[in-house]
Amino acid sequence: MRLSDDGALTIPDFAGNLFFNTLGNILENGLAGLVFADFETGAPLPLSGDAEVLLDSPETAAFQGAERLWRFTARRIVYRQDALPLQWTSRSEGASPNSLMTGNWRQAAERMKAAALANAWRTFRVSRIIDESEAIRSFHLEPADDAGLVPHEAGQHLPVRVTLPSEAKPQIRTYTLSVAPSDGVYRISVKRDGRVSAHLHDTLKTGDTIEARVPAGDFTIDPFEQRPAVLMAAGVGITPMLAMLRHVVYEGLRKRRIRPVWMIVSAHSLASRAFAGEIDALARAAGGAVHVIRVLSDTRGAELARDYETSGRIDIDLLTSRLPFNDYDFYLCGPGVFMQTLYDGLRALDNPMRAFTRKRSARRRSSVRRIAARTRNRCAPPRPGP
């Protein structure tokens, strides 16, 4: 919360706070009482006064996940020294993870400043470099100016501008942010491929700078949708899916209901597979809401069940054999052939599956609700098949 010069407290609020009834009361009568505990001394500090809910403040968007703000102005403050015999010690994990995800007022001010630079190329400093697989390397980026990170949506990408040593004109490429908005950092994960990606791999070191614009793109996920999502990735197409999975799990934990996700990840080999540990940790944190199917084309050196669930490629047979009957939103990202084949297959599957399942039972309806797709060079959905 923020304490302003006039003595008012302002607090960002989101549904997981479970403040819904309280906010309704504030809207009804504009009065509230707050109690702060000094955990070290056990002294409570009750405050009573006026409260209002701010539904349209531009500051709301600067907090990750905040849906509104509310403001409190104390009329009466009573400091009750030694009123409680209780004292607490802070546990090692410290502040509430929900509050940490939401951010603080300093970050919100920086984000509002950064939003004003939306059309500018900004300089970012590389703060960490991690090899995720034999060909994919992650670069963590922090603003090198004094403005903050513009919050992104999970699945969006960052336009990056690089001048190659032998060229006068800069090259622009786009790299997906492979983190959730509440991670509070930008991370791009680049596969060594052609000129720019090889240049980033070969020359970029921790502390170096790179130019980027605000995150863009509408290939994003709604973490609060009830319908299960099937996230399918091949190769470096994992980057938006990982961002989406992180976002769904974080927001689900925050709001105590995780959108069910089937994460189907294919890689050529164990050595080329990225983020296996990260996905595994997210699935464990989600406690049953996230199902992971790992697909390997080349299984040499890999053990079934320990390293992968199935060999070959992601195809319609795999989906029909592994996914329970249900209504799904499908998200796909990978090379062109992977995208087109799955897109056509899902479109073709939709009607026959509906017809088939309706005959058996109206309740066991299985269908393709939405297909969102992105391939490396195109953001538009692939062409529908004939």
- Would you tell me which residues interact with ligand FAD (CB under 6 A)? 157, 173-176, 189-191, 193-198, 217, 236, 239, 374, 376-377, 379
Pick the closer one to ligand FAD by CB: 128 or 284.
128
Three-state DSSP class for residue 232? strand
Pick the closer one to ligand FAD by CB: 26 or 233.
233
Name the residue among 171, 156, 305, 317 with its Cα closest to residue 243: 156
Minimal distance, residue 184 CB to ligand FAD, in Å: 19
Distance from C-alpha of 175 to C-alpha of 196, rounded to nearest angstrom? 11
Core vs surface per residue 370-383: b (16+ CB within 10 A) or e: ebbbbbbeeeeebe
Minimal distance, residue 188 CB to ligand FAD, in Å: 6
Pick the closer one to ligand FAD by CB: 193 or 317.
193
Pick the closer one to ligand FAD by CB: 215 or 228.
215
Minimal distance, residue 253 CB to ligand FAD, in Å: 25
Minimal distance, residue 143 CB to ligand FAD, in Å: 20
Residue facing ligand FAD at closest CB distance: 194
Minimal distance, residue 196 CB to ligand FAD, in Å: 3
Q: What are phi and psi of 334, to 5 degrees?
A: 170, -165
- CB of 113 within 8 A of CB of 149? no
How much is the CA Rg of the chain, to the nearest whole Å?
A: 24
Distance from C-alpha of 353 to C-alpha of 323, rounded to nearest angstrom? 13
Pick the closer one to ligand FAD by CB: 26 or 231.
231
- CB of 335 within 8 A of CB of 375? yes
